[in-house]
Amino acid sequence: MMSKDSFFSNFKSILLAIFIALIIRSFLAEPFNIPSGSMKPNLLEGDFIFVSKWSYGYSRHSLPFSLKLIPKKIFSSIPKRGDVVVFKNPKDNRTDYIKRVIGIPGDKIRVINGQIEINGNLIIKKITTPFIDKRNNENTRKRKYLEYFFDKEIEVLDLYDWGINTPDNTKLFIVEEDKIFVMGDNRDNSSDSRMIGQIPIKNLVGKAQFIFFSLENSRFYEIWKWPKSIRFDRIFKSIQ
């Protein structure tokens, strides 16, 4: 039978472990799961990623359940264009989204026939080998482009030909102070700043750094499926 001293010793050890885990999650790194295809071909459903919490400073959204213990953004910094970021949707300040930063404060942005224009300069892209989308044991070929985005080369999907009322043609956006403009890499299947508006920097959770685990067509708890589901080639892949 466990003694009272032994019980309290174990209890304190558990509390300490929980406290350390909360500190790491709030201020160093937090794991996230990719639930949708809005960032294909670079992030897939079933990818598990680590997000660095220190990259853009800290706010209430750095804490579990967005607890209001940090009233303002502290140690704040502006993301770079091309960064992949996790943020709270400003519509509810609760739902986690992951997108790529396209514009920073002061930028003038619009999409013209599927090409991004930033401050009057078109971002050039060229068609490349198709993306093979593997879902439910079916392979689908999707149109993929290589986008020359400032100092990065980014693979993006643009599945449909442009039209007047599609996300491939937008009004001119002027990015406001303390906000950023984001888009998904899967351009025709992404709810982003073209629809939900600009993202307050205080809503940033962190920067996506690397994939630490990945499963195809299975849930994390379905361990019996892991031998056939683990995407070994994606583990520890850096997020560009």
Dist. CA 175–CA 106, nearest whole Å: 5
38 is known as an active-site residue? yes
| Statement: residue 2 has pLDDT above 60 | no
User: What are the sequence ranges of the domains in the chain?
Assistant: 4-238
- Tokens matching residue 2: 């466990």
| Statement: residue 209 has pLDDT above 90 | yes
For residue 35, cis peptide bond before it (omega within 30 degrees of 0): no
DSSP structure class, residue 58: B
Mean pLDDT of the chain: 87
Dist. CA 211–CA 89, nearest whole Å: 22
Q: Region 24-29: what's the mean pLDDT?
A: 68
**What pTM was computed for the model?**
0.87
CATH of domain 4-238: 2.10.109.10
Q: Region 68-76: what's the mean pLDDT?
A: 81
How far is residue 156 from each of residues 84, 105, 190, 206, measured CA to CA in Å? 13, 23, 12, 22
pLDDT band at 32 (very low <50, low <70, confident <90, very high): very high
Q: Can you give the pLDDT at residue 138? A: 80
Neighbours of 195 (CB within 10 A): 10
Out of 40, 53, 73, 99, the active site residue is 99
pLDDT band at 224 (very low <50, low <70, confident <90, very high): confident
99 is known as an active-site residue? yes
